[in-house]
Amino acid sequence: MFELDLRSRKPIYEQLVEKLKVLIISEVLKTDEQLPSVRVLSTQLTINPNTIQKAYRELERQGYIYSLPGKGNFVARVTRDGNTERLAKLREELVKILSEAIYLGMKKEDIIKIISEVDVMVRGGEK
Three-state secondary structure of 66-79: EEECCCEEEECCCC
Closer Cβ to other proteins, 10 or 107, answer by number: 10
Select the residue interacting with other proteins from 49, 57, 60, 74 (CB under 8 A).
49
Closer of 31 and 43 to other proteins (Cβ): 43
Supply angle C-alpha 76, 13, 36, rounded to 5: 45
- Closest distance of CB 114 from other proteins, Å: 25
Asked if 42 touches other proteins (CB under 8 A), the answer is yes
Please report whether residue 35 would count as binding other proteins according to CB under 8 A.
no
Q: Does residue 81 contact residue 70 with C-beta atoms inside 8 Å?
A: no
